[in-house]
Amino acid sequence: MDQLFNIRLSSVGSTKRSAEERVIPFWRDYMQNVEEEEEGPSKLAKILGFSTGATVITLVRFSPQPSIEFLHEQSVSPSRRLPMANTCINCLKLPLLETYDQFKESMDFALGNTQGFGRE
């Protein structure tokens, strides 16, 4: 499912880009770890639902293609430490955290506390 998302990076050489490049491996490790969990398929559906509003990948392609952006305004608001999504444009916005453990905790909290358009 990682290949489903187009990662939108800032300009090469910028400080934003280096922060984003630190988080990309966290995202990929998180996705790999989710796939290996007992509840993997269910959690992958939650990630997809959180990001796009759809809990399954169908033969019809997403439009627009799901993407990943980054939350650079962390110091402005503590809520920026959690992922956000805009399901109208299929965009997942990841927080720029320092460690994988922080990233995993943030993702797990967001996924575990999202209602998913009243489906749950």
State which H helix or E strand residue 91 sits in. Answer: strand 91-95
> How is residue 44 written in tokens?
């992958």
Of the candidates 120, 118, 117, 99, which has an alpha carbon nearest to the alpha carbon of residue 51? 117
* Active-site position among 12, 56, 59, 88: 88
Query: Residue 88 catalytic?
Result: yes
Q: How far, in Å, CA of 71 to CA of 5, rounded?
A: 16
For tokens 């809520």, what's the residue?
79
Q: Give the residue numbers marked as catalytic.
A: 88
